Amino acid sequence: MPVPATLWRPGMRITDARMNAKDYQAGIILVSFTNQTSHTEFVPFPEPFPVTPMMSVEIASGSGVTGRFEARPISVNASGFTLFVLVTDSSEGPDTWASQPVHWIAHMPT
């Protein structure tokens, strides 16, 4: 997954690598934890970005205990980010996740 995509400039040659280049990366993390109200996990990018990318994450399930949680990326840098999952109503107490999917996407700033 080449990063970043090459912006076209006059005089550039068309190559397979330039035509297939992307300025984003995406993935799925299967998150597991036991008896917690928050959880962090470092996620490396498959290919480092040349600069810190913009990104977002989304819990891919609304069933069971995941409905009470939210997710966000923190400590984002060119090499990866830390996924931060937290319960939105701590009065309910801690929960356990087993391989819950969280999707992420990172892209070059415009």
**Domain regions of the chain by residue span:** 24-107
Read off the pLDDT band of 73 (50, 70, 90): very high
Task: Fold for 24-107, please state it.
Answer: Immunoglobulin-like (2.60.40)
- Residues sharing a CB contact under 8 Å with residue 59, sequence separation 6 or more, in sequence order: 66, 69, 70, 71, 85, 100, 101, 102
- pTM (predicted TM-score): 0.80
Q: 4-31: buried (b, 16+ CB within 10 Å) or exposed (e) per residue?
A: beeeeeeeeeeeeeeeeeebbbeeebeb
Contact 50, 104 (CB under 8 A): no
Task: Give me the pLDDT at residue 36, please.
Answer: 94
Tokens of 108: 């070059």
Read off the pLDDT band of 5 (50, 70, 90): low
Task: Give me the pLDDT at residue 1, please.
Answer: 44
